[in-house]
Amino acid sequence: MSDTSIAPSHDLRDFPDWFDPALVKDLRRGLKMRGFTATYLCLILALTLLLGGAILFDSGESVMNAVWFPVALTLMLIQPMRGTNAIVEERKLETLPLIQLTRLNAFRILFGKWMALAFQTFLITVSLLPYMVLGHFLGGFEFAQNVLLLLLLTVFSLVLTAVTVALSVVTLVVVRTLATIGIFLFTFQFTVMGISGSMIMGSSGFLEPQTLLISLGVSTFIGAFLIYYLLSAGASQIALPGTENHSTRRRVIAFLVVGLICAAGVVIDNVTVAFEEAFLLIPLFFVGAVTTIDCLVDPAGTSIRTARQFAKRSKLGVVLAPGWPFGWAFAALMTVLVVIITAVLTSDLRAGVPDFDDEAWGFLLAAIAAIFVPGALAVLLPKARQFPFNYYLLSQVVVAATAALIGILAGITDVEGLLALNPYTNMVLAGGSGGDTAVSIVASCIHLGIAATIFVIVGAGFREKFRKQLADARALPESEA
């Protein structure tokens, strides 16, 4: 026999070996789709034509201001909209059950969908950097200003992509479409029109490098939280019943983020930064609103294994347990924390910073009631606990439609007191005179009291069921849990 032996070949690690196979599949599928290719080529062509016209007609500054509109439109609308079919495609191909049978949990499935779209967004952002350099010479803008604004739009785009990917788990097309349209109308008004309008009109307050840098830092921190939170919330909707508990981790992280915002407000209290409270209050309200709505639509299902994790914990720790009654309790706790932190951050304002007056408090309480009241109405509907998000959105539509009717009736009869009947019209009443603001605050307290009463009555049955599960969990041996 020959003494020679064949040396074992070295492992060749290629791109598919660096990430999960499902993520690699989504990346390759996304880059091959015509939607991304068409979006990318149209954006590059539009920017090339605009900058070419700026060079030919010597109108660099005005053209560079208009360049931001197609950029913002692509990053804030077109790219995130492609996430609405993330899970829908898997359901159409009937491959979602097969993916759930693998080692990938529900969160990793959604994270892979989001990461594939995020990678495409990063490609677009990097390809725009040369145009930022050219804009520095043509438009007279600071290069750092252009890059910071581009990065800020990229962060917003990634958060909106997480929103659409999370909404793609909703089975009803009407519900998914209404939620997506509502979110994008608000975002388009707030970002695309706002930022592009600032560039076109020459407004420089928001576009100062220091302001952009602070906005980018705060947006990145809050954006990372929102991306994880939204994907985790979507994972709770597609996870197999009783197998995964994503709710507890989300609530703990939300509690920590709110605490960090409060700590940041205390730390920078003696630092002279224009409108520093706005940089903290806006993220605080976003975090509080997202967490509260998520807790209100938390599915009611749990398991003996999950219940066992809370069998030896105190009553305060039970608010972290999954299920909509405990989600309501945590939502109430989060709301109280947001109100307290708002009072702390606005208690010592410097000159030039707007005070958080009675009208602002009235509007805040009315907004809180606009979140809780539809949730209370949703739990009264049949099968609401099986499809909590669908029924919550339906309740929001009903409350909003009622608000429109009340607004019309109040305008015809000239009776502003009718505005206090609905949480949305109550926001308008809060911005009135001093007496109207007091009426608005009282009406908001009544709305919240009604929502709390419904929660206590309807949630009693589920609490009894959970207590039984806790008793069964304590009785089981450790090996059987």
Looking up tokens 């309807």 gives 458
- How far is C-alpha 461 from the geometric centre of its chain's CA atoms? 31
- Residue 444 contacts residue 366 (beta carbons within 8 Å): yes
pLDDT value for 374: 93
User: pLDDT per residue over 226-282, tens digit each?
Assistant: 999 999 988 887 776 666 778 888 999 999 999 888 888 777 765 554 445 667 888
Q: What integer pLDDT is reported at residue 201 of this predicted model?
A: 46
Asked if residue 34 has pLDDT above 50, the reply is yes
pLDDT of residue 159: 93
Q: How far is CA 97 from CA 106, 200, 231, in A?
A: 11, 49, 18
Query: What is the pLDDT averaged over residues 300-320?
Result: 62
Q: With 0.75 as the threshold, say if the pTM is over it.
A: yes
- Cβ neighbors of 77 (< 8 A, separation 6 or more) are 184, 187, 188, 192
User: What average pLDDT does the segment 420-433 reach?
Assistant: 84
Which pair of structure tokens corresponds to residue 373? 């009241």
